[in-house]
Amino acid sequence: MLESKAGIMLIAGLAFFGLAIAGLAFFGLAFVSNAVVPALMYQDLPELAVENLVNGNLRYQFEDLARRYPDSFEKAYGKPPEEVAAREKWFNQKTADTLRLGRKLYVGEACWHCHSQFVRPVSNEEQRWGPVSRSYEYQNELQRPVMFGTRRVGPDLSREGGRRSNDWQAVHLFKPTSLSEGSPMPQYPWFFDGSPDKPNARGLAVLTYIQWLGSWLESYPYYEQYQPAPLPAEVPNSKPNE
């Protein structure tokens, strides 16, 4: 066969075809080992919808927003129904919707490029942030795509929920340096209507999302000296903004 030009062409063609297959096969092999295998391994962990992520801890924080910023809250969500069961359902639904929006903002503002969401079993991270991350924590709609992150300019946030009160978070988002001197974090005044005690719908959503992080853990809130911040009504003679 090798005597004729056509024969050589045939062999060259076959070789080319074989190599093209090899190129695709290598890509495929990598896709199987790096993507399909982990996907199959987590098949038994169902992906939770946002509605299933609303837990007691998060509801507490969301209702805290309603009490702390009643005007902002009403402006963003309207009034909850009076009747108990309907009210319960309303709050759960609003929490879930807000969580979705909060996650969209967390992505859109690139929070995840300076704050990671996983605690590693090395570098004393367990001591700093709490329990090492586990797979089931990520099997939900809000981790699609996953928010692991690759850089920590600021701290990891996967156990941030409940560590600090909503008003701390609000003031910090409005102007980080007012609470954390020397912080290189940018200001996010567009989450507020002019002052940190007036979060708008976006601000409330980001606050809800931050408070959700880690709210599913037994060790929540993971903070040695945790003290709930007093509501304005509980502090006599308090003025807002102080």
Partner 1 sequence: MTNESLTRDVPPNRDLIEERLVVWYFLASIAYLFISMFGGFVMAFQLIRHNPFNGIELLSPGRWRMIHTNAVAYGFIANAFLGNLHWIVPRLTLRPVLSRPLSYLIFGAWQIVVLSTAGGILLGEAQGLEWGETPVWIDPVAQLGLGLVAVNFMAPILKIKGPMYVTLWYFLAAFVWTFLTYAMGNFVPQYFVCGTSAGAVGGLFIHDLVGLFVTPLGWGSMYFFVPILLKKPIWSHGMSMVGFWGLAFFYPLQGIHHFLYTPIPMFLQYGAIVSTIAVEMVVLTVIVNFFGTLKGSSRALATNLPIRWFFTGMVFYAITCAQCALQTTLTFQALIHFTDWVVGHAHLVMFGVFGQWLLGIMTYLFPRLLKTEWASPKLCEWHFWLSAVGLFVMALDLTLAGLFQGWSWAALQPWDASVEISQPFWIVRIFAGIAMFTGQVLFCVNLWKTWQLSPLNVAAVFSGEPSGVSHRTV
Kindly determine how many residues on this chain lie close enough to bind partner 1 according to the rule CB under 8 A.
Answer: 72
Q: Alpha carbon of 142 to those of 47, 98, 156: distances in Å?
A: 10, 12, 17
Residues in 153-172 that interact with partner 1 by CB under 8 A: 153-155
CB of 184 vs partner 1, minimal distance in Å = 5
CB of 17 vs partner 1, minimal distance in Å = 11
Residues in 32-91 that interact with partner 1 by CB under 8 A: 33-35, 37-39, 41-42, 45, 47
146 binds partner 1 (CB under 8 A): yes
CB of 135 vs partner 1, minimal distance in Å = 4
145 binds partner 1 (CB under 8 A): yes
Rounded-to-integer distance, Cα 211 and Cα 66, Å: 14
Rounded-to-integer distance, Cα 26 and Cα 242, Å: 62
31 binds partner 1 (CB under 8 A): yes
| Tokens linked to 151 | 């850089």
User: Which residue, 64 or 156, has its beta carbon nearer to partner 1?
Assistant: 156
User: Which residue, 168 or 190, has its beta carbon nearer to partner 1?
Assistant: 190
Contact 215, 57 (CB under 8 A): yes
Binding residue for partner 1, selected from 60, 144, 178, 228, defined by CB under 8 A: 144
Residues in 186-215 that interact with partner 1 by CB under 8 A: 186-190
Give residue for tokens 């090492």: 132
- Report the Cα–Cα distance between both ends of the chain, in Å, rounded: 91
Contact 231, 166 (CB under 8 A): no
Rounded-to-integer distance, Cα 71 and Cα 232, Å: 14
CB of 83 vs partner 1, minimal distance in Å = 35
Nearest CA among 47, 209, 221, 49 for reference residue 138: 47
CB of 73 vs partner 1, minimal distance in Å = 22
Contact 116, 155 (CB under 8 A): no
Q: Segment contacting partner 1 (CB under 8 A): 53-61, 75-83, 91-99, 126-134? A: 126-134
Which residue type, as a one-letter code, is found at position 187?
Q
Q: Segment contacting partner 1 (CB under 8 A): 15-23, 157-165, 206-214, 222-230? A: 15-23
How many of the other CB atoms lie within 10 Å of CB of 57?
18
Binding residue for partner 1, selected from 10, 67, 152, 178, defined by CB under 8 A: 152
150 binds partner 1 (CB under 8 A): yes
Question: Based on C-alpha coordinates, what's the Rg of the chain?
Answer: 25
